[in-house]
Amino acid sequence: MNLKALHRRHALQALSLAAAAAVAPSWAQGTRPDVIRIGVANGGVGQPPRTGGSTVGLVNAQGLLEKEFEKDGIKVDWIFFKGAGPAVNEALVNRQLDLAWQGDLPSIVHRANGVKTRIILGSGVRNGLYLGVPPDSPITRLEDLRGKRVAVWKGTNLHLSAVRALAAKGLRESDLKLINLDPAGAQAALTTRDIDAAFGYVDLFALRDKGVAKVVWSAAQDSYRYTRQTVLLATEEFATQQPALVQRVVNVVVRTARAYSEEAQRADLFAQWGKAELPEKYWREDFIGQPLRVRVSPLLDPFLVARYKDASEESFKLKLIRKQPDIDTWFDRRFLDAALKAQKLEGYWPEYAANGELSGSQALAAAR
């Protein structure tokens, strides 16, 4: 799918919003719902499906929200989308979800198209981005991609992070032959050498271990500005009419993030994620040199806000959105702040400034 096709798709989503507005919610105003519907921008694996790499994935795999709401007779319905973020957007447009775990680009698209959501906590921040090439390729850095056939899953946060990193090296999308492929398609094309390179996540490690690819670039080793961000969002309707339920969801995710932010839990964390799409050894490698308190943090800090602002500007420049949405008012910290206070976790996770450096008193403390 090229950029024009993506733009048409996003425009159709915006047009369908008016029709979707006439659809009644799954619960009447002022009443408790029978089910909380959570969309996951990942196809997951297994039955029931599960996914790795985030605290939301842990909460799902361990059935923690089901336990939280069991006494209320409220069912929790996890909906995994093989179409990733764009598919979640369609469900949001059609008012089929109450909460969603989604990356930056697709969520910016739905906000720019008038879908009203609130970002309520981080879950899967500073996620890696890698570049894989054939084992005998002369490509060793991003600058070598000029004129090359490069796979990236367009419309996802992989796409935007890749474009951001390329731009920092003086490359525009038009300087490459970007090919829209999902991870499975990119891996197949890289194996058969139908492409010169592919942007991906830790799934590229599997190709490397088979000897059919090598990983030549890592966002985390270059700059955290090129990493990918995912968050948990609530629809504005659900957050407004069911704030107590949203608070309980956030409480559970924060409690889970706290449990897996201690370094003593590193082995267990990767073992849990290793039961999903990828072996635990790949998660362990992806986290090398990064404290769990950084990668598992639920904070909506200035760094995360800045990345969404960058993503909004870049999406507009790429004509993926017609107008830039307001970012600051999108972040709703009420639920997270309440959870941190109730669980005595204020100051537990490091807060980073927009430039990726530790902010305020934490920077001073780290320097001592």
What is the C-alpha to C-alpha distance for residues 201 and 132, in angstroms, rounded to an integer? 9
pLDDT at 25: 58
Distances (CA, A) of 218 to 7, 128, 129, 265: 29, 7, 6, 25
pLDDT at 318: 81
What is the C-alpha to C-alpha distance for residues 25 and 5, in angstroms, rounded to an integer? 30
pLDDT-derived band of residue 137, with 50, 70 and 90 as boundaries? very high
Q: Do domains 3-126+229-367 and 130-226 have the same CATH topology?
A: yes
* Strand partners for 101: 40, 232
Closest CA to 101 of 39, 37, 36: 39
pLDDT at 363: 45
What is the C-alpha to C-alpha distance for residues 45 and 278, in angstroms, rounded to an integer? 10
Question: Is residue 2's pLDDT more than 60?
Answer: no
Whether domain 130-226 has CATH 3.40.50.720: the reply is: no
pLDDT at 210: 94
* Strand partners for 197: 150
The domain limits of the chain are: 3-126+229-367, 130-226
Give residue-wise pLDDT tens across range 74-116: 999 999 999 988 999 999 999 999 999 999 989 999 999 999 9
Q: Among positive and negative, which fits the CA dihedral 14, 298, 248, 75?
A: positive
Give residue-wise pLDDT tens across range 214-227: 999 998 888 888 88
Whether domain 3-126+229-367 has CATH 3.40.50.920: the reply is: no
Q: What is the mean pLDDT of residues 253-258?
A: 98
Question: Is residue 20's pLDDT more than 50?
Answer: no
pLDDT-derived band of residue 1, with 50, 70 and 90 as boundaries? very low
